[in-house]
Amino acid sequence: MFPGQGAQYPRMGKDIYEKYEEAREIYDKASEILNIDIKKLCFEISQEELSKTENTQIAIAVTSLAILEILKKNGIEPDMCVGLSLGEYVALIYAGILSLEDGLKLLKKRGEYMGNLVPNEQFSMAAVIGLDSTKIEEICEKLQNNGLFVSIANYNYSMQTVISGNKEALEQATINLKNLGAKKVIPLNTSGPFHTKKLEKAKEYYEKELEKVELKKGNKVVIKNIDGMPYEESDNIKEILAKHIISPVRFDKSIKFMKDKGISTFIEIGPGKTLTGFVKKELKDCNIECFSTDNLGELEEILNKL
């Protein structure tokens, strides 16, 4: 499982980079492909700079890819893989559907467009805890009918859903959702209206970038964000990736699919422990093992156990 935006923090992956040659090679390759000093991006800049969408997407992806190389060298291979938003690109690179070069170049443009081609309004996002998503959908629809913009951006798991909107709409949604029984509504440290119709312009620009890349037949099962099901040979992958910019992430359905397929060991590859948190909460009654790779100690625990 590959994390998405919000998992980033300064110096992420630095201890792994310093120990493993395979990781260093990925940072060097990525720097060469993008003509960016990825080490500086991940290890030296401030949280504020790192959290700019155009920086975040590349930094998290390269960190994940570097850790992935170490797991591959040690023979740890999955039955299937999934990423949250930008993390899906790491999964597509891993599966051989996208080349490393095309995948990183796409993410660079994706981050630029999602960060900059946004209507000039003040947007924010919030995580809604402890309320069924169908009730959240109803609140969003009512507020939209009243001329306010608020929309679901991420279905993380059954009891956590992320909404995105302008300031007034989110304030009103927070009141309504708490009245309906939401345990918490937590503002998130992200500013764009990600995975909503407000990014239609970014989607249009991004479609032109997708036209430039060649997609290949993959060698791994990759679960799509857009519906929580695996990519099929008949899928128009470029169309799906473009649509994904304006469509919510269905990580809740991804978890259900993995559970239904009997997956019992989950490894989050990259910074943070967000996705393992979602899986543990959703599958708390199942016999599963979850691992994260947020630091060198956690990575080496995986290598020792698996």
The model's confidence at residue 114, banded by pLDDT at 50, 70 and 90, is very high
Does 232 lie in the same domain as 108? yes
**Residue 150 in domain:** yes
Assign residue 170 the CATH number of its domain.
3.30.70.250
Whether the per-residue pLDDT at 192 is higher than 90: the answer is: no
- For the residues 159-163, what does the mean pLDDT come to? 97
Of 187, 208, 232, which residue is a domain's last?
A: 187
State the pLDDT at residue 126.
94
Does 83 lie in the same domain as 201? yes
State the pLDDT at residue 122.
86
Assign residue 49 the CATH number of its domain.
3.40.366.10
- Smallest CA-to-CA distance from 106 within 114, 233, 198 is with 114
**Ramachandran region, residue 228 (left: φ > 0; alpha: ψ -120 to 50; beta: rest):** left
Instruction: Report pLDDT digits (tens) over 214-241.
Output: 999 999 999 999 999 999 999 999 999 9
Does 112 lie in the same domain as 152? no
The model's confidence at residue 31, banded by pLDDT at 50, 70 and 90, is very high
85 is catalytic: yes
Whether the per-residue pLDDT at 147 is higher than 70: the answer is: yes
- For the residues 192-196, what does the mean pLDDT come to? 91
State the pLDDT at residue 191.
66
User: 72-76 long-range contacts, Cβ below 8 Å, gap at least 24?
Assistant: 73/22, 74/303, 76/267, 76/302, 76/303, 76/306
Does 45 lie in the same domain as 74? yes
State the pLDDT at residue 188.
85
Instruction: Report pLDDT digits (tens) over 264-299.
Output: 999 999 999 999 999 999 999 999 999 999 999 999
- 183 touches 43 (CB < 8 A): no
195 is catalytic: yes
State the pLDDT at residue 167.
85
State the pLDDT at residue 274.
95
State the pLDDT at residue 29.
98
Annotated active-site residue in 51, 64, 85, 254: 85
**Percent of the chain scored above 70 by pLDDT?**
99
Task: Count structural domains, the chain.
Answer: 2
- Residue 91 DSSP SS3: helix
Does 211 lie in the same domain as 155? no
Does 21 lie in the same domain as 160? no
- For the residues 240-265, what does the mean pLDDT come to? 97
Whether the per-residue pLDDT at 189 is higher than 80: the answer is: no
Q: What angle do CA 135, 140, 146 make, to 5 degrees?
A: 130
Instruction: Report pLDDT digits (tens) over 65-106.
Output: 999 999 999 999 999 999 999 999 999 999 999 999 999 999
Annotated active-site residue in 51, 64, 164, 195: 195
The model's confidence at residue 135, banded by pLDDT at 50, 70 and 90, is very high
Structural domain harbouring 276: 14-117+197-305
State the pLDDT at residue 247.
97
**Percent of the chain scored above 90 by pLDDT?**
92
Torsion angle in degrees (nearest 10) through CA of 49, 52, 57, 59: 0
What's the whole-number average pLDDT of the chain? 95
